[in-house]
Amino acid sequence: MSALQEKTVKVGVISLGCAKNLVDAEIMLGGVLKQGMQITGDADEADVLIVNTCAFIDSAKEESIEAILEAHQQRGLRKKAGQKLIVSGCMAQRFSKDLVNEMPEVDAFIGLDQVADAGNIIERVMARPSQTSAFSPNAAAAAGLTDEAWQPLNLVTRKSVYIPDYDTPRFRLTPSHSAYVKIAEGCNHPCSFCVIPQMRGRHRSRTIESVVAEVRNLVAEGVREINLISQDTTYFGMDLWEERANPTQPVDSSRGPTLTKLLRELQKIEGDFWIRLLYTHPAHWSDELITTIAECDKVARYIDMPLQHIHGEMLDKMRRETSREHIENLITRIRAGIPGIAIRTTFIVGFPGETTEHFESLLEFISRVRFERLGIFLYSQEEGSRAAKMPDQVPMKTKQVRYKKAMKLQQRIAREISESQTGRRIRVLVDKPLIARTAADAPDVDAQVILKTPAQVGEFIEVNVTGTQVYDLLAEPVRAVS
């Protein structure tokens, strides 16, 4: 242990954004523990506070900035003058060069390639004077400080290439019975509204052996729900097909890793648990994947497949690499091939050039297909994206009207689907004594089952559905089945 840690350093984290960002936070905390430091959930006692930011849309960036400024303000109110403030995550990865000058109160900015080295970085930050007051260059010079001494550390490297492994130290922030497993990082898709490839780099998959080893360890620890995540889960392994001895030979996908092969290997792991697929892209689905899900009973009858729109002109402008015909045919094949499947999707309203005709086409599609789970995003004009420069930007008022209309339609559909469950006996996973979820409900984003009597947290039980509350179900536990 270094001299800096004669008094054990305590580290806290505020993690914003998606589950992929949460895994990054867990990896940072794993490095903290490996370095002999402690983790605390109390900002008052933290020697180092990490704000793990999101930058997916404008509202996420605003939330991240507010969290950073609030953390700085609170350490002043707590008179925690020596507390260090580190900013990580997508916003740091994308904007660190600007933020170094705009947020001198931050002690260090770290990117996606530095998450596994958080422990060492914290030691380095602890050796520096704290940025508890914002210096200007002139004030710093008057105080005799060099630029290096007063400016935040910027440790962000461009073009992220990091990917975790099965033995990467990690401190899970999810309930003990549910975990996220990042099977790949980065994205190769050219969606015109999105800047994720600029932040997280090209798609890079883990090996099947690495993912299986991690899942096996998690199941052995008592985890009952494995949520597979990446920017595009269905693209898993495809980036590795090019790595062949003779590059002049054509790609042979039968020899390369695929999501179907991964699922069949995970199916072999002993234990009672769900495998949930999140963030699948419609362009990479296949009949083989549909058959695999149908034949693997540990894979939850749930598919998260963001579609973003359905009108052909909008799909082309969004550069979604698919068509209305493909999407409608795929949904038909999925529902026919996987009985009882619940499909979750998201759509964007107010994309540049979206007309009333385009929007009404989307409403008709939602009404006809009747997705079990659905979310709507208002288009966000992201700096650096192709769509940000497109003509015919839709006014915010129009976006909001379309959002409300689409969500009102989905609320009616969701109520009808929920009411159809009344009187059924279903299997659920208990999150809290009086709260559970069905296989059709992913953590944090979908509906819940409200139990009339308490049940054992982290266990599968059967319940009788007795009623609904729009999205949520009301149910009475029957018996434990595991």
Edge-to-edge, what's the strand order for the sheet holding 225-229?
178-182, 225-229, 274-277, 299-304, 342-349, 373-378
What is the C-alpha separation between 106 and 262, in angstroms, rounded?
Answer: 41
Nearest to 376 by CA among 334, 405, 396: 405
* E strand segments, 68-127: 84-89, 108-109
What is the C-alpha separation between 370 and 317, in angstroms, rounded?
Answer: 25
Whether the CB-CB separation of 64 and 53 falls below 8 Å is answered with yes
Nearest to 169 by CA among 221, 213, 101, 116: 116
Which tokens sit at 309? 């729109």
428 φ/ψ angles, rounded to the nearest 5 degrees = -135, 160
Q: Collect all residues with Cβ–Cβ distance below 8 Å to 452 and sequence separation of at least 6.
A: 466, 474, 475, 476, 477
Which tokens sit at 436? 């559970």
Mean pLDDT, the chain cut into blocks of 10 residues (482 residues total): 64 94 97 96 92 88 92 76 90 92 94 95 88 50 53 91 96 97 96 92 96 98 98 94 54 76 98 97 96 98 98 98 97 98 98 98 98 96 93 97 98 96 97 98 96 97 95 88 46
What is the C-alpha separation between 463 and 452, in angstroms, rounded?
Answer: 10
The predicted pLDDT at position 4 comes to: 46
Helical packing angle, 118-126 and 19-34, nearest 10° = 60
121 φ/ψ angles, rounded to the nearest 5 degrees = -65, -40
Partners of 178 in beta bridges = 225
Q: CA quadruple 183, 186, 188, 192: dihedral positive or negative? A: positive
Structural domains for the chain: 3-154 (3.40.50.12160), 178-419 (3.80.30.20), 425-480 (2.40.50.140)
What is the C-alpha separation between 322 and 345, in angstroms, rounded?
Answer: 15
> Can you say how many angstroms the Cα of residue 424 is from the centroid of all Cα atoms in its chain?
32
* E strand segments, 230-341: 274-277, 299-304
One-letter amino acid at 252 equals D
One-letter amino acid at 7 equals K
What is the C-alpha separation between 440 and 226, in angstroms, rounded?
Answer: 14
Whether the CB-CB separation of 169 and 27 falls below 8 Å is answered with yes
* E strand segments, 54-211: 84-89, 108-109, 153-154, 178-182, 184-185, 204-205
The predicted pLDDT at position 332 comes to: 98
Whether the CB-CB separation of 266 and 227 falls below 8 Å is answered with no
Secondary structure of residue 160 in the 3-state scheme = coil
Which tokens sit at 28? 């940072």
Nearest to 468 by CA among 423, 433, 434: 423
Whether the CB-CB separation of 426 and 463 falls below 8 Å is answered with yes
**Residues making up the chain, counted from first to last:** 482
Q: What is the pTM of this model?
A: 0.91
User: In this structure, how many other beta carbons lie within 10 angstroms of the beta carbon of residue 300?
Assistant: 24
User: In this structure, how many other beta carbons lie within 10 angstroms of the beta carbon of residue 68?
Assistant: 22
Secondary structure of residue 388 in the 3-state scheme = helix
How open is the CA angle 285-290-295, to the nearest 5 degrees?
Answer: 150
What is the C-alpha separation between 143 and 308, in angstroms, rounded?
Answer: 53
Whether the CB-CB separation of 337 and 290 falls below 8 Å is answered with yes
How open is the CA angle 343-365-407, to the nearest 5 degrees?
Answer: 75
DSSP secondary-structure letter at 308? B
C-alpha dist (Å) from residue 394 to 319, 349, 391: 18, 9, 9
Whether the CB-CB separation of 463 and 425 falls below 8 Å is answered with yes
